[in-house]
Amino acid sequence: MTIEEYYEALASHDWFYQYSDDYSVWQKGNAEQGRLQAVCQENGMFADMYTDFINWTNNPREIRKPQLQDYQPT
């Protein structure tokens, strides 16, 4: 998986799936988050990106949404 693909997967993930009343939405979100974590563990360069998305979803008013250019080499 490329850095662009991983970023897009993180950006399009429903980070608030656990608040859904629909169990199928929760199941899908939980499975997707597990997949995102597994990819992160396989490729350590994605760890900061994953952590930044988690921090952003926990503090969206205080932390800006991670941007792809933040993780691309200069």
Q: Are 29 and 17 a contacting pair, CB within 8 Å?
A: yes
Q: What does pTM read for this prediction?
A: 0.87
Q: Are 12 and 68 a contacting pair, CB within 8 Å?
A: no
Q: Are 36 and 13 a contacting pair, CB within 8 Å?
A: yes
Q: Where are the beta strands (DSSP E) in the chain?
A: none
- Mean per-residue pLDDT for 24-52? 95
Which of 53, 58, 56, 59 has its CA nearest to residue 36? Answer: 53
The band of 7, judged by pLDDT with boundaries at 50, 70 and 90, is very high
* Domain-wise residue ranges, the chain: 3-70
Which of 42, 48, 45 has its CA nearest to residue 66? Answer: 48
| pLDDT tens-digit series, residues 40-66 | 999 988 999 999 999 999 998 999 999
Which residue type is seen at 39?
V
For residue 44, what pLDDT is reported? 87
